[in-house]
Copies of this chain bind each other. A is one copy, B any other.
């Protein structure tokens, strides 16, 4: 099969590199262009990037000259890892010019006609792009993935929501350094320390699930009524956000039912056999001390979330720990899975 040419916008940053790494071995997609800022334009990717992975830069990409993120790039599908400060207008320009943009940036997440997709959770929200195209008169469209802490939270809770309803969530995150980008957290700031604040993060965690769990209508998304209280922290781990969660359900559940719901969960990506869909989107561990970021972040190639310590909560209903790979499931991998969904639904 001929592979589909794609481009990565913001290809030299940390999430951009994850896109390059994951796409370089993708069965459907083939990197046709890498775009970054003026500073890198014209330079071969291999020289422009400060590559962060142990294994080398993929051969096929190393010699590609970096281009500016402007329409004209080969293909019709672009992945955006642009910084939020510039992503907004650039992504619009691409969509207007007929490209499909699968974005990791937050710039358009809260636009009423742009969906936030977590592929196993709300694949039907792709329907919103009809409205988007019509309203904006665009040939292409923008699809966003959620914030990293949100993605793993809504995925892990989705089976409970479907079966028992989710009314309220208290979530305390212990987030990895990579979530802030390569230079986001200085070593001296985090050594022997925990930072009890990540700007904007708690607001995203409170807001995005309401949209993702919302109902698609002909007018847009009707937000869900779930209440979410987030406390966000940065800790000294490289990858893998850990979330301690207390959740209140609408209906009474037994422990066995909760575990069964989580373990048995499969979404549309699994049914369709999408290449980036992990066989088991949710892996449940029964040991008392799992999940742990270092041991569990790479499960399912970083696309599974790992849940453990499921036990009753004396204040809400259930306590559990959720771990997800923030730069895979919570960023590049999630956006690639969304693009696979777009292709599978015949929207390309």
Q: Is the CB–CB distance between A178 and B188 below 8 Å?
A: yes
Q: Is the CB–CB distance between A197 and B288 below 8 Å?
A: yes
Distance in angstroms from A314 CB to nearest chain B CB is 5
Q: Is the CB–CB distance between A194 and B315 below 8 Å?
A: no
Contact residues in B for A168 (Cβ distance below 8 Å): 314-315
Contacts A172-B231, A315-B168 given; indicate if A196 touches B309 (C-beta within 8 A): yes
State A175–B233 Cα separation when bound (angstroms). Answer: 13
Interface residues as binary, A268-311 with B (CB distance below 8 Å gives 1, 0 otherwise): 00000000000000000000111111111011000000001100
Contact among B172, B299, B315, B319 for A316, CB-based, below 8 A: B315
Interface size on A, residues (CB 8 A): 60
State A238–B294 Cα separation when bound (angstroms). Answer: 11
Q: Is the CB–CB distance between B188 and A186 below 8 Å?
A: no
| Interface assignment of A54: CB less than 8 Å from any CB of chain B | yes
| Interface assignment of A228: CB less than 8 Å from any CB of chain B | yes
Q: Whose C-beta in chain B lies nearest to the C-beta of A231?
A: B244
Q: Is the CB–CB distance between A228 and B188 below 8 Å?
A: no
Total identical chains: 4
Contact among B172, B187, B290 for A186, CB-based, below 8 A: B187
Interface residues as binary, A178-206 with B (CB distance below 8 Å gives 1, 0 otherwise): 10001111111111111111010000001
Contacts A193-B292, A194-B235 given; indicate if A228 touches B314 (C-beta within 8 A): yes
| Interface assignment of A313: CB less than 8 Å from any CB of chain B | yes
| Interface assignment of A37: CB less than 8 Å from any CB of chain B | no
State A228–B292 Cα separation when bound (angstroms). Answer: 24
State A248–B298 Cα separation when bound (angstroms). Answer: 37
| Interface assignment of A161: CB less than 8 Å from any CB of chain B | no
Contacts A228-B315, A298-B54, A315-B170 given; indicate if A190 touches B187 (C-beta within 8 A): yes
27 CB < 8 A contacts A-B? A52-B188, A54-B294, A172-B172, A172-B244, A177-B186, A182-B186, A182-B188, A183-B183, A191-B191, A191-B236, A191-B294, A192-B236, A193-B292, A193-B293, A194-B293, A195-B289, A195-B292, A196-B244, A196-B290, A196-B309, A197-B309, A199-B288, A206-B314, A227-B314, A229-B316, A231-B309, A315-B316
What 15 new A-B contacts, CB under 8 Å, besides A192-B238, A196-B308, A233-B244?
A: A168-B314, A170-B246, A170-B313, A174-B235, A177-B187, A177-B191, A191-B294, A193-B294, A194-B237, A195-B289, A196-B291, A196-B309, A228-B315, A231-B319, A235-B235
